Homo-oligomer: A and B are copies of this chain.
Amino acid sequence: MNNKRITVFRKEHFNAAHRLNNPAWSVERNKAVFGLCNNDNFHGHNYELIVQVSGEIDPETGYLIDLKILSDLIKEEVLNRFDHKNLNLDTQEFKHLNPTAENIAVVIYDLIRAKLDERYTLKIRLYETERNFVEYPTEW
């Protein structure tokens, strides 16, 4: 553990429709693997997103990062893209990628990582429901 480093968390949320499906598979196999999540006409979730940034505290401000700036970045890169959208039909990112919680977390990581100063380390936690959630990347 690095006693100089701190992590800051910012929680946001978005609502979206999605459907799990692998177009390379038969209808039967998709139903067998994805069950109700394969429903033709989509279903949806309230996604809770926790963006985690680590680094060293700026001694002038006492901040790791200004959470207003981080929150604005999340809005621009993630919420504007995915909130109140159909992930399969309305987004470039999931046109050819199955929108599982795992894949959504990786996509969000890549979107924020591209805009976040390289002195920060980044981790994404995404709740698809209160009982099913993912974290990416993981150190263990």
Contacts and interface: CB of A to CB of B under 8 A. Distances in A.
How many monomers of this protein are in the complex? 6
A135 interface: yes
* Highest count of chain B CB atoms <10 Å: which of A35, A54, A97, A129: A54
A138 to B, nearest CB: 4
B132 A9 contact: yes
A134 B7 contact: yes
Interface of A: 1-13, 15-18, 20, 22, 24, 33-37, 39, 41-46, 54, 57, 60-64, 66-68, 83-86, 89-90, 97-103, 105-106, 121, 123, 129-140
15 contacts: A6-B135, A6-B137, A6-B138, A7-B134, A8-B101, A8-B134, A10-B132, A13-B130, A17-B43, A41-B86, A41-B90, A43-B84, A44-B44, A61-B100, A62-B98
